[in-house]
């Protein structure tokens, strides 16, 4: 694929946890619970009926609206980072305390409140660079 075949979209938002990473996006319009909805040992989404059921979040730029469930989810995110099964970064429509705390503990870049809805702008498989320091998201997708 030539560079001219790739379009770049830049989104600006709120950087909540610092860091700069680039990877492949995994996008869902459904909230995620890290406690009970994801197997922390594998990073696979296990919540029945979830649109990401059976997919792994490990090493991905995980894009979802917000977290749900128990506050234990924060520690699950931290545990996943320690064993290498966590997402590279998280992009939320609007983060809530469970996700923010987990990302702070795990040092996972986190961005939210972007100027465009990331769920409608980013597609699973896009290459995405997340700058949690500036709150900037670069989306590299096929033209």
- Select which of 41, 70, 74, 141 is catalytic: 70
Which residue bears the tokens 């997402």?
87
Distances (CA, A) of 131 to 13, 14, 16, 38, 68: 10, 10, 10, 25, 24
| Beta-bridge partners for 7 | 141
Distances (CA, A) of 7 to 2, 128, 143: 11, 12, 5
Q: Is 33 a catalytic residue?
A: no
Residues that are catalytic: 70
């Amino acid at each position: 694929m030539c560079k001219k075949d790739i379009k770049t979209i830049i989104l600006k938002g709120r950087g909540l946890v610092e860091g700069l990473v680039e990877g492949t996006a995994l996008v869902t319009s459904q909230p995620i619970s890290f406690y009970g909805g994801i197997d922390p040992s594998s990073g696979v989404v296990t919540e029945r009926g979830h649109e990401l059921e059976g997919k792994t979040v490990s090493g991905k730029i995980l894009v979802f609206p917000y977290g749900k469930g128990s506050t234990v989810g924060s520690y699950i995110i931290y545990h996943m980072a320690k064993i290498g099964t966590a997402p590279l970064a998280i992009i939320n429509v609007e983060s809530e305390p469970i996700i923010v705390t987990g990302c702070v503990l795990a040092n996972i870049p986190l961005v939210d409140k972007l100027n465009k809805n990331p769920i409608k702008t980013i597609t699973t498989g896009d290459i995405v660079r997340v700058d949690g320091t500036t709150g900037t998201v670069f989306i590299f997708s096929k033209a």
